[in-house]
Amino acid sequence: MFRHCCMKRLLAALLAFQAAVFFIVATVIGKDLYSAYFSLSSISDKSANETLALNNSVPFCRSITDDRLTNRTLTNSTGVSYSSGNDHSTNEADTLNTFLVEYEKYCSSHLIPMASNITTGNARSLCLCPCVPDALLGRINTKFETPQFRELELLHTELSLGGSWTPQLCIPRHRVAVIIPFRDRQLHLRTLLTILHPMLQRQMLRYTIFVVEQKEPTVFNKGSLMNAGFIEARSSADFDCFIFHDVDMLPEDDRNFYVCSSQPRHVGSHVDKFNYTLIYSKAFGGVIAIRPSQFKKTNGFSNRFSGWGGEDDDMYNRIKAQKMTVKRFPSAVARYTMIRHSRDVGNPNNPNSVNAFRYNPHRYAADGLNSLRYKLVANESRALYTWLLVALPSHIQPNAAYRRYGRIEQQRVGTGGGWSGSIFPGNFLITKITLEIIIVFICHCENMIHSGLHLALEIRI
């Protein structure tokens, strides 16, 4: 009877001990996941709050005369030519003029630069860069002989290493990161950079171009590359606008401003391939502009669309799920030439792209930035851009265990590091390894108690 009572008490103590340990573990994990979830879903835009205190008193630089900028764009040394905009029809010209007037009103009242945009170079300037700079030239001829990289480097000595530039004669209103997912498209990249650098400088933007190249696996995954580019760019500087840009999309008008607004914007909405018409109302591919806070709310791009197609339509639904709307500029300026090319062997049509049209908010919460896994193989600051070489897992499939436990380190991983990715960006979470250690510890304690129980019974007997 005594032995039976003793055993019951020891077993009750064991169960109580296990329950207490599991309660503590669940509380810690639950607290971290709770705070992480709400930090993601209600993320505040840090860059939007760090604005100039003198937003109403800082005047605009109405006329910018930078001889270096003007001479470089007008010498036509790269074969790129421009028109003054006089080739528009009457209706199109009226639409364009109305758009520019309305844009300037919006920009002047809403697009106030961050305090961090004041640099040692432009600190002496007491005026903001104009919303519609005088340096804009209008339509761009995208048919030209593409220069080699070395020629472009000699032409753009004004760039900082890593493909960065900032105006020196005024305080820029925007700090923009251009993310270009890439693999085996050297000619397309050179063509795009030939147009992009002069255009962004005429728009008086502070910008950096990131080329995110996929090393492996064989099948291209654009969504994961853009997610990785977002994380790496955010770790390098405090950008207030992200432009996700296909390498084969060439802008035809420099009045199509590469800036972000209160809602995500479909920048490359009218393409020559589709006769400059919006192919369908939910289109959201090619070139898009989105603020960091907006991108985090959507949980980024899906990682499930390997091959061509799907991730852009899926992003449209993610934006709708967060009660945001997609904005577009008029076709008079939002014009693009799509470089013709054959389908890449490593970028076949995605048979699952039709799933992108299915509205599924539950999947959006589990698939995206919080399920991203990648390895940063290289990070090089080149003359024309920052090059990020990324390796992705062989099978981009959501890993339930990985999503559940995450990892106890920052999002970013250095060159040659391990797989990067966490449950919720920017938070420290309990890892699978940590939980396994806790479980082993509990089992060890249980074995010790059982051993003590048997020993006590043997001594009693």
- Give pLDDT tens digits for 342-352: 656 555 555 55
Tokens 């436990």 belong to 405
Neighbours of 25 (CB within 10 A): 16
- The catalytic residue among 32, 254, 312, 367 is 312
* Mean pLDDT score, 228-236: 97
Give me the residue spans of the domains in the chain: 2-32+439-460, 45-358
134 is catalytic: no
**Predicted local confidence at residue 124, as pLDDT:** 64
| Residues 6+ away with beta carbon under 8 Å from 204 | 64, 129, 130, 133, 135, 167, 170, 172, 173
213 is catalytic: no
Nearest CA to 49 out of 213, 256, 291, 313 is that of 291
pLDDT range class, residue 32, cuts 50, 70, 90 = very low
| Residues 6+ away with beta carbon under 8 Å from 256 | 267, 329, 333, 334, 335
CA 248 to CA 192: how far, in whole Å? 7
* Mean pLDDT score, 66-73: 46
CA 288 to CA 385: how far, in whole Å? 19
- The catalytic residue among 66, 232, 240, 246 is 246
pLDDT digits (tens, 9 = 90+) for 244-275: 999 999 999 999 999 998 999 999 999 999 99
Whether the per-residue pLDDT at 368 is higher than 90: the answer is yes
| Residues 6+ away with beta carbon under 8 Å from 153 | 383, 384
pLDDT range class, residue 23, cuts 50, 70, 90 = low
pLDDT range class, residue 237, cuts 50, 70, 90 = very high
- The catalytic residue among 213, 248, 313, 314 is 248
254 is catalytic: no
308 is catalytic: yes
Task: Quote the distance between the C-alpha of residue 97 and its chain's center.
Answer: 32
**Predicted local confidence at residue 184, as pLDDT:** 86
Identity of the highest mean pLDDT range in 10-19, 68-77, 241-250, 442-451: 241-250
CA 357 to CA 365: how far, in whole Å? 16
User: For residue 407, which amino acid is it?
Assistant: R
pLDDT range class, residue 118, cuts 50, 70, 90 = confident
* Mean pLDDT score, 88-107: 84
- The catalytic residue among 308, 403, 412, 419 is 308
- The catalytic residue among 338, 344, 403, 419 is 338
165 is catalytic: no
Beta strands of 227-295 (E only): which ranges? 241-245, 249-251, 265-266, 270-271, 287-290
151 is catalytic: no
249 is catalytic: no
In this predicted structure, which of 34-48, 284-298, 311-325 has the lowest mean pLDDT?
34-48
Nearest CA to 401 out of 375, 439, 350 is that of 439
CA 308 to CA 112: how far, in whole Å? 37
Compute the half-sphere exposure of residue 55: CA atoms within 13 Å on the CB side of its CA: 16
pLDDT digits (tens, 9 = 90+) for 173-206: 889 999 999 988 899 999 999 999 999 999 999 9
Sign of the CA dihedral running 230, 392, 196, 142: negative
pLDDT range class, residue 419, cuts 50, 70, 90 = low
As a whole number of angstroms, the longest Cα–Cα distance in the chain is 106
- The catalytic residue among 66, 213, 240, 311 is 311
Tokens 């945009």 belong to 117
Neighbours of 142 (CB within 10 A): 20
Query: Which comes out higher in pLDDT, residue 22 or 74?
Result: 22
Whether the per-residue pLDDT at 37 is higher than 90: the answer is no
Nearest CA to 246 out of 140, 336, 371 is that of 336
- The catalytic residue among 3, 9, 343, 358 is 343
- The catalytic residue among 3, 68, 341, 444 is 341
- For the question of whether the overall pTM of this predicted structure is more than 0.85, the answer is no
Give the Å distances, CA to CA, from 190 to 153, 169, 247, 256.
11, 28, 9, 20
45-358: CATH homologous superfamily? Spore Coat Polysaccharide Biosynthesis Protein SpsA; Chain A (3.90.550.10)
pLDDT digits (tens, 9 = 90+) for 222-231: 999 999 999 9
Beta strands of 403-453 (E only): which ranges? none
Beta strands of 153-272 (E only): which ranges? 164-165, 175-182, 206-216, 241-245, 249-251, 265-266, 270-271
Whether the per-residue pLDDT at 315 is higher than 90: the answer is yes
312 is catalytic: yes
Q: What is the DSSP letter of 355?
A: G
Query: Which comes out higher in pLDDT, residue 73 or 38?
Result: 73
